[in-house]
């Protein structure tokens, strides 16, 4: 009887509150903030609120503007420009909202009207931590969908959401080097100091950090890109790096976060206070626990580095995969000798004015090494096996740089190639897999995929070494990283000319056929890297966090009880629809 009346009570009150309790407030509803409310928010953040129109709106009817459209088109593939615009994301597909048939693609004809899609309606271009607090409080008070948007690089669409208020962290550009960092502790407590560290504002991008550090003789564990942010999705998701072999994941190296929580308080999280948030921000994923204002990470010397590239080409359907198989048998040896980096396999590479080729390129950095001869020797057995497998002489290029900065400023000159429509799927593949005879199964699996011109399979050799040795670090990071040898990604470009249904078919193939092929290699034992993964990963809790998930879920429940911070496939997102608009 008691149970009955209780559930009726819930039904009745629940019925009246459906919108307020179970869905985010939508612009056509009475709960939506009034003009006066928005103006109050604007003044509370000192005039930094902007109403956002989609990136390509000047290229479409009703608001067509030739001059403005030219600027948009000129910067379509300029990741630096995209990162500076609250309206843009780096992967155009996440600006659209297929479910409502809304898009505003640069490539679609002018006559197709521009629709808002997943682009936020308002952006708080925050300049101070206080501004962040005000925006967080506003979203919570008005039950508005909140988005934290840094550079917009996210591959899973976590930096956009329909009908949302965006916190735009781009302008937090502070970088400082601290010779003797002491964590911030509650009064009455003391913490040991003395570690050299770097504090990075939430909006600092990799190329900015690398060029700043270059003149300071200091390096930190950072990613291989230009405009990806350091303190946002990168470090909070784990963060892999050329420097990982020597010093672990980026998240292993975080010493302290300054963060605004869901209730608007600004706190420090480190091993001495708010340790639950510290645990969660080191690998639990961006956008789920609070708005990070800055992160402090360990500083290291600007090591010398030897950088090697090995490549081979074959005719399409030639002995291409035989080379790949031969390569996989050398990975453990190269990694044990300090090699870390990437290999890219493109089975159909379009060559201008010529026949297509299959191309394989390996980029390996040997950090803290100076001898090009020694690296050449390490690679010589690989080259000989590639020659035997393919019949082609692989090309080799070995260069020594006096510092990692020298390598980074050579590789990263300020612009990533983005602006296309992309999806991917991935799996972490273990060291023991490569040690067994099974590595051949990897080539068999990958070669059975159907490739369009330009489709790539990318292997990231970014674990082993200190990443494996750090297995006792207590953090939210996917424990699978400690056993990983290769983070393997299948990438798929989609044409904006396709219909939403055609694009969905490509995405469904990734989820239903391609990732399961990788999954089966180790019978589901390994997981995936949450920052570079399938946006529809079915069992994401297990795959992205393994045994850490229950603890992350509990931290989320205690620190964000009303689910203000929900991102696609993030901690706690299973209680929400895929847009984060209504509870399910
Ligand atoms: C070209 C390219 C190269 C890459 N190279 C690497 C690499 O070498 N190593 C690697 O590990 N990864 C790499 N990545 C993946 C990268 O780490 C992710 O895309 C990451 O999510 C980017 O974070 P962001 O903050 O720059 O992007 P955004 O898309 O702006 O944000 C990503 C996520 O973090 C959240 N977020 C952003 N800022 C904050 C904040 N201040 N507080 C709380 N949450 C926040 C967002 O809400 C979103 O959920 C690469 C990606 C690309 C596109
Ligand atoms: C916020 O205030 C600034 C400065 O007064 C103004 O330029 C801007 O248009 C306002 N934003 C919105 C969304 O009204
Ligand atoms: C960015 O780089 C890509 C390829 O690396 C290039 O196609 C594009 O034109 C560049 N964009 C800008 C604006 O420099
Ligand atoms: C790309 O955008 C950046 C930032 O807006 C700008 O400084 C740069 O000039 C642009 N590059 C090109 C080639 O237009
Ligand atoms: C950036 O540094 C300046 C000068 O040290 C300081 O005044 C400002 O508050 C800092 N901003 C942030 C967002 O940390
Ligand atoms: C392979 O390496 C050679 C020599 O370093 C270089 O000229 C060529 O462009 C590379 N090919 C590919 C596909 O990267
Ligand atoms: C880097 O190399 C030097 C010289 O070989 C060595 O003394 C030092 O321990 C190395 N550093 C690391 C972190 O391995
Ligand atoms: C190798 O494959 C066999 C059979 O497919 C399987 O039993 C074994 O567990 C695999 N080994 C590894 C390290 O994945
Ligand atoms: C899209 O279609 C247009 C016109 O049919 C064509 O010119 C363009 O190359 C296509 N773009 C892509 C990316 O396929
Ligand atoms: C899906 O995968 C199958 C099997 O590899 C392939 O035949 C089909 O063309 C793919 N479809 C799309 C839309 O990519
Ligand atoms: C916010 O929540 C934390 C616990 O998660 C609590 O310590 C703090 O006092 C709260 N702040 C406010 C302003 O309610």
497 alpha carbon, distance to own chain's centre: 26
Counting beta carbons within 10 angstroms of the beta carbon of residue 83, is it exposed (0 to 12), middle (13 to 18) or buried (19 or more)?
buried
Mutate to test the pocket of ligand 3, among 78, 82, 83 (most ligand atoms within 8 A of CB): 78
Rounded to whole angstroms, the Cα distance separating 129 from 135 reads: 10
Residue nearest to atom 7 of ligand 2 (CA): 47
CA of residue 251 to ligand 1 center, whole Å: 13
Would you say 389 and 361 are in contact if contact means Cβ atoms under 8 Å apart?
A: no
What distance in angstroms lies between residue 457's CA and the mean position of ligand 10's atoms?
16
Q: Is 42 in the pocket of ligand 2 (CB under 6 A)?
A: yes
Cα of 387 from ligand 9 centre, angstroms: 39
261 touches ligand 11 (CB under 6 Å): yes
Does 452 contact ligand 9 (Cβ within 6 A)? no
User: Ligand 4: which atom is nearest the Cα of residue 78?
Assistant: 1
Hey, where are the domains in the chain?
A: 8-168, 175-302+547-560, 305-545
Tell me, what DSSP letter sits at residue 166? E
Q: Counting runs of H as helices and runs of E as strands, what totals does the chain give?
A: 20, 18
85, 95, 286: which to mutate for ligand 1, most atoms within 8 A of CB? 286
Whole-number Å distance between alpha carbons of 480 and 290: 25
Ligand 3 pocket mutation pick from 417, 418, 419 by most atoms within 8 angstroms of CB? 417
User: Cβ(174) to ligand 5 under 6 A?
Assistant: yes
Q: Ligand 8: which of 427, 438, 440 to mutate, judged by most atoms within 8 Å of the beta carbon?
A: 438
Among 244, 233, 221, 190, smallest CA distance to 299 is for 221
Cβ–ligand 5 distance for 203 under 6 Å, the answer no
| Nearest-atom index, ligand 6, CA of 361 | 14
Its sign, for the CA torsion 220, 222, 224, 226, is: negative
| pLDDT, tens only, 116-150 | 999 999 999 999 999 999 999 999 999 999 999 99
The model's pTM is: 0.95
Q: Which CATH number does the domain 8-168 belong to among 3.40.50.150, 3.20.20.70, 3.30.565.10, 3.30.43.10?
A: 3.30.43.10
Instruction: Report the Cα 349 to chain-centroid distance in Å.
Output: 26
CB-CB contact of 446 with 324 (8 Å): yes
Residue nearest to atom 10 of ligand 5 (CA): 174
The answer to whether the CB of 229 falls within 8 A of the CB of 294 is: no
Most ligand 8 atoms within 8 A of CB, residue of 436, 437, 524 to mutate? 436
Angle in degrees, CA 440, 443, 449, rounded to 5? 145
Ligand 8 binding pocket includes 102 (Cβ within 6 Å)? no
Fold of 175-302+547-560: 3.30.465
Q: Is the CB of 438 under 6 A from ligand 8?
A: yes
| Interatomic CA distance for residues 526 and 518, integer angstroms | 10
Q: Name residue 260's beta-bridge partners.
A: 266, 291
Render each residue's pLDDT in the chain as its tens digit; 584 residues: 333 333 332 333 333 344 445 999 999 999 999 999 999 999 999 999 999 999 999 999 989 999 999 999 999 999 999 999 999 999 999 999 999 999 999 999 999 999 999 999 999 999 999 999 999 999 999 999 999 999 999 999 999 999 999 999 999 999 999 999 999 999 999 988 889 999 999 999 999 999 999 999 999 999 999 999 999 999 999 999 999 999 999 999 999 999 999 999 999 999 999 999 999 999 999 999 999 999 999 999 999 999 999 999 999 989 999 999 999 999 999 999 999 999 999 999 988 888 899 999 999 999 999 999 999 999 999 999 999 999 999 999 999 999 999 999 999 988 899 999 999 999 999 999 999 999 999 999 999 999 999 899 999 999 999 999 999 999 999 999 999 999 999 999 899 999 999 999 999 999 999 999 999 999 999 999 999 999 999 999 999 999 999 999 999 999 999 999 999 999 999 999 999 999 99
Q: Which atom of ligand 5 is nearest to the CA of 127?
A: 13
| Ligand 2 atom closest to Cα of residue 51 | 13
Residue of 296, 297, 282, 234 lying closest to 552 (CA atoms): 282
CB 75 within 8 A of CB 43: no
What is the 77 CA–ligand 3 centroid distance (Å)?
A: 6
Residues 149 and 166 sit within 8 Å (Cβ to Cβ): yes
Q: What are the tens digits of pLDDT across the range 195-224? A: 999 999 999 999 999 999 999 999 999 999
CATH 3.40.462.20 fits domain 305-545: yes
Question: Minimum-distance ligand to the CA of 90?
Answer: 1
Q: Is the CB of 18 under 6 A from ligand 2?
A: no
Does residue 331 contact residue 341 with C-beta atoms inside 8 Å? no
- Tell me if 84 CB under 6 Å of ligand 4: yes
């Amino acid at each position: 009887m008691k149970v009955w009346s209780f559930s009726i009570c819930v039904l009745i009150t629940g019925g009246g509150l459906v919108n307020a309790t179970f869905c985010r407030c939508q612009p056509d509803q009475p709960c939506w903030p009034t003009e006066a409310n928005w103006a109050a928010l604007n003044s509370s953040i000192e005039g930094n609120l902007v109403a956002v129109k989609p990136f390509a709106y000047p290229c479409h009817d009703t608001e067509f503007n030739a001059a403005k459209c030219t600027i948009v088109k000129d910067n379509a593939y300029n990741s630096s420009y995209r990162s500076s615009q609250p309206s843009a994301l780096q992967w155009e597909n996440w600006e659209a909202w297929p479910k409502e048939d809304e898009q505003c693609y640069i490539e679609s004809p002018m006559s197709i009207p521009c629709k808002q899609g997943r682009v936020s309606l308002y952006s708080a271009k925050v300049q101070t931590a206080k501004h962040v607090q005000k925006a967080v409080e506003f979203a919570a008070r008005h039950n508005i969908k909140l988005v934290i948007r840094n550079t917009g690089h996210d591959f899973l669409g976590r930096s956009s959401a329909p009908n949302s208020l965006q916190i735009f962290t781009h302008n937090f550009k502070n970088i400082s080097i601290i010779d003797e960092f002491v964590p911030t502790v509650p009064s009455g407590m003391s913490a040991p100091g003395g570690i050299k560290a770097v504090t990075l504002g939430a909006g600092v991008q990799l190329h900015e950090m690398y060029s700043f550090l270059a003149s300071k003789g200091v390096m930190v564990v950072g990613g291989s890109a230009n405009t990806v942010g350091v303190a946002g999705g990168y470090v909070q998701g784990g963060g892999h790096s050329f420097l990982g072999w020597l010093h672990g994941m980026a998240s292993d190296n975080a010493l302290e976060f300054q963060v605004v929580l869901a209730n608007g308080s600004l706190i420090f999280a480190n091993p001495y206070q708010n340790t639950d948030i510290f645990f969660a921000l080191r690998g639990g994923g961006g956008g789920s626990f609070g708005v990070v204002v800055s992160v402090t990470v360990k500083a290291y010397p600007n090591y010398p580095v030897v950088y090697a590239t090995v490549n081979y080409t074959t005719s399409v359907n030639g002995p291409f995969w035989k080379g790949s198989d031969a390569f996989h048998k050398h990975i453990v040896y190269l990694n044990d000798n300090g090699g870390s980096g990437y290999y890219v396999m493109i089975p159909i590479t379009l060559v201008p004015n010529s026949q297509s080729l299959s191309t394989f390129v390996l980029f390996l950095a040997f950090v803290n090494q100076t001898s090009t001869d020694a690296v050449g020797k390490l690679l010589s057995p690989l080259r000989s096996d590639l020659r035997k497998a393919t019949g082609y002489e692989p090309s080799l290029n070995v260069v020594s740089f006096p510092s990692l900065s020298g390598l980074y400023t050579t590789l990263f000159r300020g612009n990533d190639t983005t602006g296309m429509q992309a999806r991917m799927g991935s799996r972490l593949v273990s060291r023991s897999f490569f040690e067994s005879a099974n590595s051949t199964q990897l080539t068999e699996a990958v070669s059975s995929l159907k490739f369009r011109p330009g489709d790539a399979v990318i292997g990231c050799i970014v674990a082993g070494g200190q990443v494996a040795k750090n297995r006792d670090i207590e953090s939210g990071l996917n424990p699978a990283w400690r056993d990983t040898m290769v983070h393997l990604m299948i990438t798929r470009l989609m044409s904006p000319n396709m219909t939403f249904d055609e694009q969905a078919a490509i995405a469904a193939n990734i989820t239903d056929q391609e990732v399961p092929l990788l999954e089966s290699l180790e019978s589901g034992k390994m997981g995936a890297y949450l920052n570079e993964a399938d946006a529809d990963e079915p069992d994401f809790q297990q795959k992205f966090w393994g045994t850490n998930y229950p603890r992350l879920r509990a931290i989320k429940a205690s620190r964000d009880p009303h689910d203000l911070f929900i991102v696609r496939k993030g901690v706690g997102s299973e209680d929400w629809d895929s847009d984060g608009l209504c509870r399910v």
